[in-house]
Chain A
Amino acid sequence: MIIGETPPPSGAFGVDAIAMTMRFGDFLALDNVALKVRPGSFHALLGENGAGKSTLVKCIMGYYHATEGDILVGGREQAIGNPKDAHALGLGMVYQHFTLVPAMTVAENLVLARDDVPTVVNWPKEMKELEAFLARMPFKVPLGAKVSAISAGERQKCEILKQLYLKRRFLILDEPTSVLTPAEADEVLGMLRGMVVKGELTILMITHKFREVMAFADDVTILRRGKLAGAGKLSELTPDAMARTMIGAEELTIQPPRTGEAGKARLELAELRALDDAGAIAVHDVSLTVRAGEIVGIAGVSGNGQRQLVEVLAGQREAESGEIRVAGDPYRASREEMRRHKMSLLPEEPLKNACVGGMSVADNIAFREFDHAPFASGGWWLNRGAFSDDARKKIAQYKIKTRTPETPISALSGGNVQRAVLARELGSKVEVLIAANPCFGLDFAAVAQIHAEIMAARNRGAAVLLVSEDLDELLELSDRLVVMFHGEFVYEARTSEADLTVVGRHMAGH
Chain B
Amino acid sequence: MADGSIGLWTVPLAVLGGAIRVSTPFLFVSLGECITERSGRINLGLEGTLVMGAMSAYGISYLTGSPWLGVLAAGITGALLGALHAGICSLPRVNDIAVGIALMLFGTGLAFYLGKPLIEPTAPRLPAIDFGWWSDIPQLRAVLRINVMFLIGVALAPILYWAFRTTRWGLLIRTAGESSDAARAMGYSVLLIRLRATMVGGFLAGIGGSFLSLFYPGSWNEGLSSGQGITAVALVIFARWDPLLCLWASLAFGGAAALGPALQSVGVTSGYHLFNAAPYILTLAIMIITCSPKRTLTGAPAELSITR
In the bound complex, residues from chain A placing their C-beta under 8 Å from that of B167 are: 119-121
- Interchain CA distance A101-B303 in the complex, whole Å: 11
Q: Chain B residue with minimal CB distance to A118?
A: B168
In the bound complex, residues from chain B placing their C-beta under 8 Å from that of A278 are: 295-296, 298
- B186→A113 contact, CB < 8 A: yes
- Interchain CA distance A417-B213 in the complex, whole Å: 58
In the bound complex, residues from chain A placing their C-beta under 8 Å from that of B185 are: 83, 95, 99
For B168, give its contact among A87, A120, A277 (CB under 8 Å): A120
- Interchain CA distance A111-B186 in the complex, whole Å: 11
- B168→A121 contact, CB < 8 A: yes
- B178→A279 contact, CB < 8 A: no
- B179→A102 contact, CB < 8 A: yes
- A101→B187 contact, CB < 8 A: no
For B178, give its contact among A84, A102, A277, A318 (CB under 8 Å): A102
In the bound complex, residues from chain A placing their C-beta under 8 Å from that of B174 are: 101, 103-104
B172 to chain A, nearest CB (A): 8
B60 at the interface (CB under 8 A from A): no
- A101→B179 contact, CB < 8 A: yes
- A99→B181 contact, CB < 8 A: yes
- Interchain CA distance A108-B170 in the complex, whole Å: 11
B148 to chain A, nearest CB (A): 27
- A117→B171 contact, CB < 8 A: yes
- A120→B294 contact, CB < 8 A: no
A360 at the interface (CB under 8 A from B): no
- Interchain CA distance A120-B168 in the complex, whole Å: 6
A143 at the interface (CB under 8 A from B): no
Residue among B179, B298, B302 with most chain A CB within 10 A? B179
B175 at the interface (CB under 8 A from A): yes
In the bound complex, residues from chain A placing their C-beta under 8 Å from that of B179 are: 99-102
A82 at the interface (CB under 8 A from B): yes
Total interface residues on B, CB under 8 Å, equals 23
Residue among B165, B166, B298 with most chain A CB within 10 A? B166
**Which residues of B are interface residues toward A (Cβ below 8 A)?**
165-169, 171-172, 174-175, 178-179, 181-182, 185-187, 292, 294-296, 298, 301-302
Q: Chain B residue with minimal CB distance to A84?
A: B187
In the bound complex, residues from chain B placing their C-beta under 8 Å from that of A466 are: none
* Known contacts A84-B187, A103-B174, A117-B168; is-contact A97 B296 (Cβ 8 Å): no
- A101→B296 contact, CB < 8 A: no
B160 to chain A, nearest CB (A): 14
* Known contacts A97-B181, A111-B171, A119-B168; is-contact A277 B296 (Cβ 8 Å): yes
- Interchain CA distance A117-B301 in the complex, whole Å: 22
- Interchain CA distance A277-B178 in the complex, whole Å: 16
Q: Chain B residue with minimal CB distance to A105?
A: B165
- Interchain CA distance A173-B296 in the complex, whole Å: 32
- Interchain CA distance A448-B70 in the complex, whole Å: 71
Q: Chain A, 85-100, contact with B by CB distance < 8 Å: what is the 0/1 string?
A: 0010000000101011
In the bound complex, residues from chain A placing their C-beta under 8 Å from that of B302 are: 102-103
Q: Chain A residue with minimal CB distance to B295?
A: A279
Since A275-B295, A278-B296 are in contact, a sample of 4 more A-B pairs with Cβ atoms closer than 8 Å, ordered by chain A residue number, is: A83-B185, A119-B169, A121-B168, A318-B294
B65 to chain A, nearest CB (A): 37
A112 at the interface (CB under 8 A from B): yes
- Interchain CA distance A87-B186 in the complex, whole Å: 10
Residue among A101, A276, A279 with most chain B CB within 10 A? A101
In the bound complex, residues from chain B placing their C-beta under 8 Å from that of A113 are: 186
A381 at the interface (CB under 8 A from B): no
20 pairs across A/B with beta carbons < 8 Å? A83-B185, A84-B187, A87-B187, A99-B179, A99-B182, A100-B179, A100-B182, A101-B178, A101-B182, A102-B302, A104-B175, A104-B178, A112-B186, A117-B172, A120-B166, A121-B166, A121-B167, A275-B294, A278-B295, A279-B295
A416 to chain B, nearest CB (A): 25
- A83→B187 contact, CB < 8 A: yes
- B166→A123 contact, CB < 8 A: yes
In the bound complex, residues from chain A placing their C-beta under 8 Å from that of B187 are: 82-84, 87
- A279→B294 contact, CB < 8 A: yes
Q: Chain A residue with minimal CB distance to B185?
A: A99
- Interchain CA distance A120-B294 in the complex, whole Å: 39
Q: Chain B residue with minimal CB distance to A109?
A: B182
- Interchain CA distance A97-B179 in the complex, whole Å: 12
In the bound complex, residues from chain A placing their C-beta under 8 Å from that of B295 are: 275-279
- Interchain CA distance A113-B187 in the complex, whole Å: 9
In the bound complex, residues from chain B placing their C-beta under 8 Å from that of A84 are: 187
- Interchain CA distance A99-B184 in the complex, whole Å: 9
Q: Chain A residue with minimal CB distance to B167?
A: A120
- Interchain CA distance A79-B261 in the complex, whole Å: 70
- Interchain CA distance A119-B302 in the complex, whole Å: 24
A64 to chain B, nearest CB (A): 14
- Interchain CA distance A119-B182 in the complex, whole Å: 20
In the bound complex, residues from chain B placing their C-beta under 8 Å from that of A83 are: 185, 187
B248 to chain A, nearest CB (A): 22
B162 to chain A, nearest CB (A): 9
Q: Chain A residue with minimal CB distance to B166?
A: A121
- Interchain CA distance A95-B292 in the complex, whole Å: 34
Q: Chain A, 111-132, contact with B by CB distance < 8 Å: what is the 0/1 string?
A: 1110001111101000000000
In the bound complex, residues from chain B placing their C-beta under 8 Å from that of A112 are: 171-172, 175, 186
* Known contacts A99-B181, A101-B182; is-contact A121 B294 (Cβ 8 Å): no
- Interchain CA distance A117-B302 in the complex, whole Å: 23
In the bound complex, residues from chain B placing their C-beta under 8 Å from that of A101 are: 174-175, 178-179, 182
Q: Chain B residue with minimal CB distance to A86?
A: B187
- A121→B171 contact, CB < 8 A: yes
In the bound complex, residues from chain A placing their C-beta under 8 Å from that of B292 are: 279
Q: Chain A residue with minimal CB distance to B307?
A: A277
In the bound complex, residues from chain B placing their C-beta under 8 Å from that of A97 are: 181
- Interchain CA distance A123-B166 in the complex, whole Å: 7
Residue among A84, A108, A276 with most chain B CB within 10 A? A108
- Interchain CA distance A278-B171 in the complex, whole Å: 23
- Interchain CA distance A315-B168 in the complex, whole Å: 44
A162 to chain B, nearest CB (A): 10
Residue among A100, A108, A112 with most chain B CB within 10 A? A112
- B186→A108 contact, CB < 8 A: no
- Interchain CA distance A95-B295 in the complex, whole Å: 29
B226 to chain A, nearest CB (A): 35
- Interchain CA distance A84-B185 in the complex, whole Å: 10
In the bound complex, residues from chain A placing their C-beta under 8 Å from that of B294 are: 275, 277, 279, 318
**3 cross-chain pairs, A with B, having the tightest CB-CB distances, nearest first:** A279-B295, A99-B185, A117-B168
Residue among A102, A103, A275 with most chain B CB within 10 A? A103
- Interchain CA distance A317-B129 in the complex, whole Å: 56
